[in-house]
Amino acid sequence: MKRILRKIALSATVLGAAAMMNACGSDWLELSDPNSLSPTNFPKKIEHVDLLVNSVYGAQHHWCFLGNYWAGYVMYCLDHTIDMLWHEDPAWIDICAGEVKAGNNKVTDPWTALSLGIYYANTALEEIASYRTTAPETETEALNNYEGECLFFRAYYWWHMLSLYGEPDAEGVGIPIVRTVPRTLEEMYIGREKTGACYQAIIEDLDRAVDLLTQTDPHRVTVWAAKAFRAKACFFAGQRDLARTYLEDCIANSGKTLETFDRYRMMFNGYDAYEYNSESFYEMGNRADPTSGSAYGSPNTGSTLSLYYPPFCIAPDGTRTAMSYGNQYMHDRNLGRFGYTDPAPQSAAVMKTRQGADGQTEYYLDEAYLALQQKHRDELGREADGPDPRLYVCALQPFVDEVQMTIDGVNATRKVAQVDFGKWWEDTSASTGNDPETFYGWPVRKYNFLEGHLLDATRNVAGYNIYFLRLPEIYLMYALLLRDEDPSTALEYVNKVHRRAYNYPVDAPSEVDYRSLSDRTRTVDATDHLANDPLLYELWAEIFGEMRWWEYVRLLDLGEKEKDYYKTISGPGSSKTNIVWKETNYAMPIPTSEFENNPNPAMVQTPGY
């Protein structure tokens, strides 16, 4: 993967040139210089093909996709992973509140990034086909793997585009299915297919990828990555028999196993020893580049995903210090859903005062409160009324967890702070609207950099890998398929995921097992639709913060129920905005330029916008 990452910037340029040669013909580039690119000398060797395929990988890093936008601007807002500390951007608040309007670039810009990924995949596929005509037989397997990777990624970019812009219903408005590089203006006039046809296109590409892929390097797309993705695509497409067959194949034959809880906890923050692990089918590889990295749209080897939701820490003078922009924190309602019931740290029950030796007021936290927080950690997974252990995988607890941070030239381990500014004891409710009695403000932990200020330490190019499919999700999709026809087997797969989270052996009954598929879950609110649905609760808790819960909210029509649970979003100003729900919220608007400049009657704005 490091070899791939080093070549991303170069190969993106090369691929663009290759695409232009195809699209424009050869008249524009009559060169005799053998060191220049032309239709007659590129691709001329397998290394050229490698460059093209690296660009297809590289599109994942696009600033408007997993390079930055996909979490803090899009998925974390739609699925309420986060709440807002920054209240002065109405368009951002609209996404969180269910009031997105056409022209909101935070949700429309990913369309362009994903379209570019599809374009790169199509260009590479065409160049691979061209190169095959003269390639030696010894390169056949390598070319098959390259082609399989490109087919996987075309399906991958389609999948993400469909998850954001396509209506969930099979007969609804989907996305354009572009399979070739346009040669003429007329060929660019493509309409949006129905959602069901889009799923079928994804499945067909993955069928072909499965037949082509033989490589086993976990840093690249493998046959099991394609098989797991195909199983998920069939499941979402409603092709139950195929989904069951493919899911069972992944479970029985992939060799994947659940990691221990201790390793699972460390999988999301860029620690190399825990990435490309035994439960990952595919993950986007990222590498920090603190020497020459450049974010804000430049090609790079990592991700700036956590720019908007970084940890905060407590400086020596008590100041809450952001480790990047500091716009977002984990929505407080998620704490209760994970089963956390203790009072807020600035509440009267927790924050105490005393007179210091110099006569100044000193602030401190109640010792009994701190002891209880330590008890939660010491008895993690064994405490009868304690929170779900995954809370501490997904979020950082102020005053308890620690991060590394350089302040005033001193690099040290520092306590995590609530996501807010000012001294840690100060009441900011007048400007934020956050009541100290009820405000928690825990930073998100998944996909966050914990070793310093994002800009200073990584030049905003962080190295946490981003998972696309893990074995727990395969287990829980399988349980969703079986819950009506074979509830006992479904329950066992739910409990496998649950046991790992509570640090029990995965395959043996445990004292924390759910007794039925309607057993009470950890969520505190009895009116929460997950309160008596262990299957969906486990799915939510397991993939929380991984930008995939929204896919299931759409598939299972949970939007209204999620709105009822989360209730409000912070802003504008010090106010709280009630979250609203409309069925049109399941699919976001596309850029208006797509249909204003395209005469195809099937290229339309997403209904409702």
The reported pLDDT for the residue numbered 472 is 99
Yes or no: say if 59 and 116 are a contact pair by the CB < 8 Å rule: yes
Considering only residues 584 and 42, tell me which one the structure prediction assigns the higher pLDDT.
584
- Helix (H) or strand (E) holding 578, with range, is strand 576-578
- Examine the pLDDT at 112 and tell me if it is beyond 70: yes
Nearest to 231 by CA among 125, 159, 143, 145: 159
Instruction: Name the pLDDT band for 300 (thresholds 50, 70, 90).
Output: confident
Q: Which residue has the higher pLDDT, 28 or 508?
A: 508
The whole-number pLDDT of residue 363 equals 98
Determine the average pLDDT of the residues in 478-501.
Answer: 99
Query: Considering only CA atoms, which of 275, 299, 307 is closest in space to residue 5?
Result: 299
Residue ranges of alpha helices (H) inside 254-381 are: 261-264, 333-337, 367-378
The DSSP line for 147-196 is HHHHHHHHHHHHHHHHHHHS-SSTTSB------S---STGGG---PPBHH
Whether residue 134 has pLDDT greater than 70: yes
Residue 353 has pLDDT above 60, yes or no: yes
Contact 331, 441 (CB under 8 A): no
Confidence of residue 297 (pLDDT cuts 50, 70, 90): confident
**Distances in whole angstroms, Cα of residue 428 to Cα of each of 419, 420, 434:** 11, 8, 7
Query: Residue 421 has what DSSP assignment?
Result: S
Start-to-end C-alpha separation, the chain: 41
**Count of C-beta atoms within a 10 Å radius of residue 480:** 21
**Is the model's pLDDT at 39 over the cut of 80?**
no
Integer CA distances (angstroms), 353 to 359, 364, 441, in order: 12, 6, 21
pLDDT in tens, 421-447: 999 999 999 999 999 999 999 999 999
List, for residues 207-238, the tens digit of each pLDDT value. 999 999 999 999 999 999 999 999 999 999 99
Closest C-alpha to 316, from 240, 247, 417: 417
Task: Please name the residue ranges forming H helices in 465-544.
Answer: 471-482, 487-501, 534-543
pTM of the model: 0.94
| pLDDT bracket for residue 19 (50, 70, 90) | very low
Q: Are 130 and 22 in contact (CB under 8 A)?
A: no
Within 237-372, strands assigned E span 280-284, 312-314, 320-322, 328-330, 351-355, 361-365
Q: How many CA atoms lie within 13 A of 484 on its CB side?
A: 2
Show the domains of the chain with their CATH numbers: 2-255+585-596 (1.25.40.390), 309-449 (no CATH), 468-568 (no CATH)
Instruction: Report the pLDDT value the prediction gives residue 38, as an integer from 0 to 100.
Output: 61
Across the range 577-589, mean pLDDT stands at 99
Residue 7: band (very low, low, confident or very high) from pLDDT cuts 50, 70, 90: low
Element (H, E) at 10: helix 8-24
pLDDT digits (tens, 9 = 90+) for 505-552: 999 999 999 999 999 999 999 999 999 999 999 999 999 999 999 999
Confidence of residue 13 (pLDDT cuts 50, 70, 90): very low
Q: How many residues does the chain have?
A: 609
Return the minimum-mean-pLDDT range out of 118-122, 183-187, 246-250. 183-187
DSSP state of 450: -
Percent of the chain at pLDDT above 90? 89
Q: Are 519 and 532 in contact (CB under 8 A)?
A: yes
- For tokens 């690249």, the residue is 220
Residue (of 396, 401, 402) closest to 419 by Cα position: 396
Does the CA dihedral 276-15-42-6 come out positive or negative? Answer: negative
State the DSSP H helix or E strand holding residue 14, giving kind and residue range, or none if neither: helix 8-24
Are the C-beta atoms of 289 and 302 separated by less than 8 Å? Answer: yes
Cα separation, 444 vs 545, in Å, equals 8
Dump pLDDT digits (tens) for 244-265.
999 999 999 999 999 999 999 9
pLDDT confidence of residue 35: 53
Summarize pLDDT for 329-340 with one digit per residue, the tens.
999 999 999 999
